């Protein structure tokens, strides 16, 4: 995913969390914060995986 998609998704999750918290839904804030943290952790793992995949790929001139 592109960085802008991640930023928009975090803002959407934060907005939904704030809305649910304002409506008085019980445990909305901790669940929303946990969702944002999990999303960011997943994005970080995906980024590291992509970087490692790019590093470990052999150069093009070795392929037959």
pLDDT given for residue 62 in this prediction: 64
> What pTM was computed for the model?
0.69
Of 20, 50, 48, which Cα lies nearest the Cα of 34? 20
Q: pLDDT of 25-49, one tens digit each?
A: 888 889 999 999 998 898 888 888 8
Query: Within a domain: residue 62?
Result: no
Give, as one character, the DSSP assignment of residue 57.
Answer: S
Lookup: tokens for 63: 């392929």
Give the pLDDT of residue 37.
92
Q: Is residue 39 part of a domain?
A: yes
Distances in whole angstroms, Cα of residue 19 to Cα of each of 13, 23, 53, 59: 10, 6, 39, 50
In a domain, 15, yes or no: yes
Q: What mean pLDDT comes out for the span 2-26?
A: 87
Number of domains in the chain: 1
User: What residue has token string 């992509």?
Assistant: 50
User: Structural domain of residue 23, as residue ranges?
Assistant: 3-57
Asked if the structure places residue 9 within a domain, the reply is yes
């Amino acid at each position: 995913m592109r960085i802008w998609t991640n930023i928009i998704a975090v803002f959407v999750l934060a907005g939904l969390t704030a809305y649910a918290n304002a409506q008085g839904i019980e445990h909305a804030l901790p669940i929303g914060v946990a969702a944002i943290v999990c999303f960011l952790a997943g994005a970080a793992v995906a980024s590291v995986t992509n970087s490692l995949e790019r590093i470990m790929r052999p150069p093009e001139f070795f392929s037959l």
